[in-house]
Amino acid sequence: MQVPQNGEDFASQPWYHGLLSRQKAEALLQRDGDFLVRASRTCGDHPVISCRWRGSALHFEVLRVALRPRPGRPTALFQLEDERFPSLPALIRSYVNGQRPLTQATGAVASRPVIRQGPIQRSFSEETLLDSPSRIELLRARKWSDSQPAGLEHVGRSREGQSEPGASTVPTLALSCMGSDPVLLKTPAPLGSIADSLSASDGQLHAKAPTKPPRTPSLVLPDASEQPPTYCELVLRMPSTQGTLPGHQCPEPEAPWWEAQEEEEEERCFARPQADISFCHPSKSSGLLGPQNRPLEPKVLHTLRGLFLEHHPGSTALHLLLADCQAAGLLGVTKAQRDAMGVASGLELLMLPHGHRLRSELLERHEVLVLAGALAVLGCTGPLEERTAVLRGLVELALALRPGAAGDLPGLAAVMGVLLMPQVSRLEQTWRQLRRSHTEAAVAFEQELKPLMRALDEGAGPCDPGEVALPHVAPAVRLLEGEEVPGPLEESCEQLLRTLQGARQMAQDAPKFRKAAAQRLQGFRPNPDLQEALTTNFLRRLLWGSRGEGAPRDSRLEKFQQVLSALSLRLEPDC
């Protein structure tokens, strides 16, 4: 079916429904091939394609790449996977008229647009998504104060170079932009040579968004008791005709716990450290799992698959960084926890005798992340291309986690643990297809990621707080827990000394790592479901069920390894 082509302003297209929730979009999709395009509160200026395929409703975030304004050139490019288009209607025409799969992982084909009924409902942030020449010119004519908290270099680069449309555009409503007003941004951070084409999603804001709200804000946050707070939910507060009482001010929105300022250390007497310090919070009511769940529930696995497909690797990397920083006690450490452990950070606690519980928790976290990632690959019983797409996604996630990008080295070690696991590395057909279909990702894995991981395991990799937010602690943790260093005696002694020296340096640089992690997460608003899915407690319950998670750790791991081996042999039997 031909998609209408009446102009490049996709707001005029009948398949564009404006601001629409996921539930309402799924209700409109009746048959396989039905699709619509909508705006999402959690995706900001990235439109979402909702499509029904094989009886399930799928949602695909369209990456919007802003360009510098030049005559005869589009202001932004749109892409789903590899190919970029000068407009969203051009992208839709290409995929619909050519009957091309929206993604290789799902194979979903959009063929019949769901026609919009009635006017478009627009969100506040959607004004930045629907760029028009008049709006852009009006924005260029506005004068910005140099006292903007984010600085003009973050509002599009510089005043002389003009701001990039779509990347940091502020709606031109009847708001006076004063020097104390915050500039709310939502642009992807660069992630490296291959990850340049990737972008974060669902609440990822600019890396240097302002931390201090205005004293009298012209924008306020709505009640977020049911939905996660995002800057996309900002609503306009009109001046009251009665005015405000003298001495009363609008309440300032609270910063999330990972952006809270560190409390100044008070002079106190030495307190004997406790031996049971843990940063693994007790299980709360889960939004994805019921009070009692069985291992590997298909419905939950299907939900998780859709959740990860909706997020770009850059956004997933920030979600994982946040979860890892909390698990390692780098961010969000309370004063009571600092008093109890006798130090200010989990990185310091790891190296002390009474850090045994924390070391055990981090080792288990690494293991469950690796097992869950391996399950994502080995659980793909469909076409070979589907399994190959999962491998490619893991490689892109590893690139987004590496030093210089998110800088989450424990997360990088877990993803590389999946790719290097024997049950995954033996899938010769899958890896051959990856090299054939996604050569760039395969080359990055072999020539960049594998040498980097080898150096990190040997204690010789990068560990500078400027490019790393959370260091690779696994070698030191294993050594302190009594594991022997593999290899010849002479080489193992050298590696042992490097590991111990690196551990001392990590503990010494803990405040610098804390600052680096906080800077990367500045302004970040995570998706609550994805954030829960990356916690240790959730993964443990997902893999072994609410009853099986209490079994001995070694027994649990051994049985699951046997399950993965059986899945691997089923996918590609031995010749």
pLDDT in tens, 245-285: 444 444 444 567 676 655 544 555 556 676 667 887 665 67
What's the pLDDT score for residue 274? 66
Model-level pTM greater than 0.95? no
Q: What angle do CA 372, 376, 378 make, to 5 degrees?
A: 110
The torsion angles phi and psi of 100, rounded to 5 degrees, stand at: -90, 145
Q: pLDDT band at 368, cuts 50/70/90?
A: very high
Collapsed DSSP state (helix, strand, coil) of residue 549: coil
Q: pLDDT band at 150, cuts 50/70/90?
A: very low
Give percent of the chain with pLDDT exceeding 70: 69
Q: pLDDT band at 232, cuts 50/70/90?
A: very low
169-190 average pLDDT score: 38
Summarize pLDDT for 310-345 with one digit per residue, the tens: 888 999 999 999 999 999 999 988 888 888 888 888
What's the pLDDT score for residue 516? 93
Answer for the pair 335, 343: CB distance below 8 angstroms, yes or no.
Answer: no
Domains in the chain with CATH codes: 16-113 (3.30.505.10), 298-571 (1.10.840.10)
Q: Among 35-44, 513-522, 529-538, whose mean pLDDT is lowest?
A: 35-44
Measured between alpha carbons, how far is 508 from 183 in angstroms, rounded to an integer? 35
Q: Which two tokens stand for residue 342?
A: 């006798």
Q: Which residues contact 262 (CB under 8 A, 6 or more apart)?
A: 514
512 pLDDT exceeds 70? yes
Write out the DSSP string of 102-120: S-TTT--B--EE----SPP
Summarize pLDDT for 76-98 with one digit per residue, the tens: 888 888 788 888 898 999 999 88
Measured between alpha carbons, how far is 2 from 217 in angstroms, rounded to an integer? 47
What's the pLDDT score for residue 284? 65
Position with higher pLDDT, 137 vs 521: 521
